[in-house]
Amino acid sequence: MTDAKYFANTKKGEIFELKSELNSDKKEKRREAVKKVIASMTVGKDVSALFPDVVNCMQTDNLELKKLVYLYLMNYAKSQPDMAIMAVNTFVRDCEDPNPLIRALAVRTMGCIRVDKITEYLCEPLRKCLRDEDPYVRKTAAVCVAKLHDINAQLVEEQGFLDLLRDLLSDSNPMVVANAVAALSEINEASSTGHPLVELNAQTINKLLTALNECTEWGQVFILDSLSSYTPKDDREAQSICERVTPRLAHANAAVVLSAVKALMKFMEMMSADSEFVITLTKKLAPPLVTLLSSEPEVQYVALRNINLIVQKRPDILKHEMKVFFVKYNDPIYVKLEKLDIMIRLASQANIAQVLAELKEYATEVDVDFVRKAVRAIGRCAIKVEQSAERCVATLLDLIQTKVNYVVQEAIVVIKDIFRKYPNKYESIISTLCENLDTLDEPEARASMIWIIGEYAERIDNADELLESFLEGFHDENSQVQLQLLTAIVKLFLKRPTETQELVQQVLSLATQDSDNPDLRDRGFIYWRLLSTDPAAAKEVVLAEKPLISEETDLLEPTLLDELICHIGSLASVYHKPPSAFVEGRTGQLRRSLPARTGSEETNHSEPPQATVIPAADSLIGDLLSLDISTPTPPTNFTSAPISNSNVDILGGGLDSLLGGPDLGGIGPQMTATSTSQLSSTGLLGDIFGMPASGAFYTPPKQVWLPAVRGKGLEITGTFTRRNGQICMDMTFSNKAMQAMGGFAIQFNKNSFGLGPAQPLQVPTPLHPNISCDVSLQLNTMGAVQKMEPLTSLQVAIKNNVDVFYFSCIVPTHVFCTEEGAMDKRVFLATWKDIPSQNEVQYVIDNVMLNVDQVSQKLQTNNIFTIAKRNVEGQDMLYQSLKLTNNIWLLAELKVQPGNPKFTLSLKSRAMDVAPAIYQVYEMILHN
């Protein structure tokens, strides 16, 4: 009979029966009773009352019974810590049992029992097991060290377990080595400092490579992952490691293959791209990746997500393997879409005919999502491979003739992009597109069609009628369509001013007076103002020549791609997000990055640059600098003002620079009477053209620094703030003694920032009993410097006619942030790149109920300046700088997921001692 009988319906009074069976003299009866207890525990019954009786059953030679009792202990030890102590002696005895299985079982169970009292007793048995003669015991003990580190990291370091674990890397048994590597990796990742506690060296790497050939597949994964985090000293060592790792590509386990690919991708960066070794290795990487695509769909999907990253980094690896990415009829939709994406990345002049024939076939499928993606893929091919553009356009026109609604709409969206890429080349097809105007019901397709009509209004005779037809239901349209319609009609007006004056007035009125959408309203006001002041300048802005769109708009930014390559084979490579974006609870994570590629400009510097959060200046600086950038100047109090004869700075760069034209002084008088009255009647000019008043510098509430008991009746409460560019110490002196006080003076001890009084202490004297007075003391940072612990600790001496009193207080770090902390954007990029990645630390800030603009404004008023803002995959990123009074600069990246109160803060500086204090500043400002 099977063990299923133990899970049968239980009866009343069973706990009492089990208690008597557990105390039975018969071994068989005791074993049966423990099995019943475990069955009850498994189905969720509370059997903790039997704890002492089950623990008594530990004294047995029967391995099966011992395992069951240990299982029970692991489950209930946390709720019964005092009872669990009873089992310690048995554990210690079992760790010296002649049977290695029992020794390993005892040390494993002790590691799983997360009770501090038991942890103290675990050290000695664990130390013995790490040196045990049996490899099974040693490999179990290695994992136990990682578990113990998770419970009490300090204990592990004090007891020397890290050194013992490092010794196991030289063990003769490959499985012991693999487990030691796994434990060390876990400990390094959990390091609160963000720096690895155990560094690998060439000698250790050699031992790991020796063990690699003999251990199990999961042991190989651990070793390969550790190898990929090692940076060889030169390309010769990298080549040697690659040669020994390459045979793992032929392994049957997909995880081993991907881990090997990850290690090879990293080491290839250290070698010259045109070297014979790299060319040979590139050829060897293709077959194992192709083999992964013959697995089950789930493994295929993981492989495809990783291949997507590999192809972006090194397209040469799979450039001849296009056919394996052709979609099969029975592929699940998630595999189809991923294959389609990779096909476009691999498309080139050599294979474009094959790819287009395949895509046209996909566009006739029944799966709507897949068809849409296929049509969009044809457009992406046209943009990527210029020689194929004509053929792609012909294919899209054939698809439009099918009159299938969703196919037509997708085709119009991609044709708009083709017009942007190849101006004045394919405009002859516009008439065909206009025929399908009535069938468009999706916002993106409608917006694309409106853009085409506005952009090429001079070629469309009835452009005004077509745009007017959209205007009829303006308020029901999606905001994307409304914005596009507004711009298109302004373009039409600038091209045909006499015929469309009424139309443009209508759309400006709808956008500015009848709309609740701030984006639409702001754009309407800017157009209105441009048109009413200088139509010639408006023409230069609105009808300016547009930059050609890039070939690949969906590539990951280089630094993120490099980081994800270092995480191939993990969840990060499937999500295409760094681990910090979805793993909670780790505050000091070290950002992984690829080494600088040999032969690139970067290697010419004395120090190879590490991974950067912001793209390298040579590749993406234009992209970054074109984003929403707040003016990097000290916060100033602005008030909304009526339009005057001065140039109003609308977009942070001056209206004259926006127009690229002459000085536009006297804007007010030049405006037409109609537009002026209509604008002012909305009551929104202050909102559009004025600047918001900035908030006040955050001053923490006062704390008691010197209690009356210690001050012989003198009580001092105080805080620190910053006013007019100077640090101030605001104090309240209260006399709670029976006599008047006078003769006050103050002195500071040496401190980290050289803080000292800039003037004598002015306390109104005499200070009579039961009287309080507020005093503000200006401070400077010209005093003697001595590093304190904590960093901003300040020791103060106050003297009066009674005595000299001493107290210590903490100065909030943000008062040391100067008004000159706004770094130039290009200097910011260069500085971030120059600071090594080991000088970057990451924190999580919880429960922030502010949006990204409120965060930026709040920090700016406290001298933390936003240099740039961008949106990456729906996540807002703020790049910020601050400068301390001792000339230390800190750079920050703040990730804000809209709707998520958890923010991720990355800090970079050459002096990392201040990073924890700056993290506290962010916490304090954003939560107050």
Distances (CA, A) of 595 to 275, 364, 704: 17, 45, 52
Q: Report the amino acid identity of residue 393.
A: V
Number of domains in the chain: 4
Predicted model pTM: 0.60
Tokens standing for residue 529: 């103002």
Secondary structure class of 808 (helix, strand, coil):
strand
Q: Report the amino acid identity of residue 333.
A: I
What is the per-residue pLDDT for 489? Answer: 92
Cβ-based burial of 161 (10 A; exposed 0-12, middle 13-18, buried ≥19): buried
Which distant-in-sequence residues (6+ apart) come within 8 Å of 183 by Cβ? 142, 143, 145, 146, 165
What pLDDT digit, counting tens, does each position of 156-184 carry?
Answer: 888 888 888 888 888 888 888 888 888 88
Tokens standing for residue 52: 């002492």
Which CATH number goes with the domain that contains 913?
A: 3.30.310.10
The span from the CA of 534 to the CA of 661, in Å, is 10
Handedness of CA 200, 206, 209, 211 (dihedral sign): negative
Query: Is there a single domain that holds both residue 175 and residue 189?
Result: yes
Assess if residue 487 is contained within a domain.
Answer: yes
Query: Is there a single domain that holds both residue 768 and residue 835?
Result: no
Secondary structure class of 601 (helix, strand, coil):
helix
The span from the CA of 360 to the CA of 378, in Å, is 8
What is the per-residue pLDDT for 562? Answer: 87
Q: What is the 3-state secondary structure of 275-332? A: CHHHHHHHHHHHHHHHHHCCCCHHHHHHHHHHHHHHHHHCHHHHCCCHHHHCCCCCCC
What is the per-residue pLDDT for 640? Answer: 36
The widest CA-to-CA distance across the chain, in whole angstroms, is 108
Q: Which domain holds residue 874?
A: 816-927
Secondary structure class of 696 (helix, strand, coil):
coil
Final residue of a domain: which of 216, 240, 268?
268
Query: Is there a single domain that holds both residue 864 and residue 721?
Result: no
The span from the CA of 406 to the CA of 395, in Å, is 16
Query: Is there a single domain that holds both residue 843 and residue 806?
Result: no
Q: Which residue has tokens 């209930």?
A: 76
The span from the CA of 215 to the CA of 204, in Å, is 16
Per the document, the length of the chain is 928
Assess if residue 624 is contained within a domain.
Answer: no
Assess if residue 649 is contained within a domain.
Answer: no
Q: Report the amino acid identity of residue 780.
A: N
Q: Report the amino acid identity of residue 331.
A: D
What pLDDT digit, counting tens, does each position of 318-331 carry?
Answer: 888 888 999 988 89
Assess if residue 366 is contained within a domain.
Answer: no
Final residue of a domain: which of 481, 514, 549?
549
Which distant-in-sequence residues (6+ apart) come within 8 Å of 38 by Cβ? 6, 68, 71, 72
What is the per-residue pLDDT for 799? Answer: 92
The span from the CA of 591 to the CA of 900, in Å, is 22
The span from the CA of 828 to the CA of 732, in Å, is 41
Q: What is the 3-state secondary structure of 416-458? A: HHHHHHCCCCCHHHHHHHHCCHHHCCCHHHHHHHHHHHHHCHH
Query: Is there a single domain that holds both residue 858 and residue 798?
Result: no
Q: What is the 3-state secondary structure of 157-209? A: HHCCHHHHHHHHCCCCCHHHHHHHHHHHHHHHHCCCCCCCCCCCCHHHHHHHH
Which CATH number goes with the domain that contains 36?
A: 1.25.10.10
Helix (H) or strand (E) holding 722: strand 714-723
Residues of the chain with pLDDT under 50: 1, 12, 587-588, 600-694
Query: Is there a single domain that holds both residue 798 and residue 837?
Result: no
Query: Is there a single domain that holds both residue 916 and residue 892?
Result: yes
- Report whether 488 contacts 470 (CB < 8 A): no
Report CA Rg, the chain: 35
Query: Is there a single domain that holds both residue 764 and residue 826?
Result: no
Distances (CA, A) of 134 to 131, 176, 291: 9, 10, 39
Query: Is there a single domain that holds both residue 174 and residue 73?
Result: yes
Assess if residue 568 is contained within a domain.
Answer: no
Tokens standing for residue 181: 């590597």
Q: Which residue has tokens 């803002």?
A: 869
Please tell me what DSSP assigns to residue 708. T
Query: Is there a single domain that holds both residue 824 and residue 801?
Result: no
Handedness of CA 916, 921, 924, 926 (dihedral sign): negative
The span from the CA of 778 to the CA of 726, in Å, is 7
What is the per-residue pLDDT for 71? Answer: 83
Neighbours of 916 (CB within 10 A): 16
Assess if residue 415 is contained within a domain.
Answer: no
- Report whether 486 contacts 656 (CB < 8 A): no
Terminal-to-terminal C-alpha distance of the chain? 66
Nearest CA to 266 out of 57, 602, 564 is that of 564
Distances (CA, A) of 559 to 262, 475, 654, 659, 903: 16, 42, 33, 35, 20
Main-chain dihedrals φ then ψ at residue 150, nearest 5 degrees = -65, -35
**Alpha-helical regions (H) of 576-650:** 617-625
The span from the CA of 532 to the CA of 675, in Å, is 7
Final residue of a domain: which of 549, 566, 592?
549
What pLDDT digit, counting tens, does each position of 292-321 carry?
Answer: 888 899 999 999 999 999 998 888 888 888
Assess if residue 877 is contained within a domain.
Answer: yes
Assess if residue 129 is contained within a domain.
Answer: yes
What is the per-residue pLDDT for 24? Answer: 76
Query: Is there a single domain that holds both residue 183 and residue 160?
Result: yes
What is the per-residue pLDDT for 552? Answer: 60
The span from the CA of 491 to the CA of 415, in Å, is 20
Query: Is there a single domain that holds both residue 117 and residue 262?
Result: yes
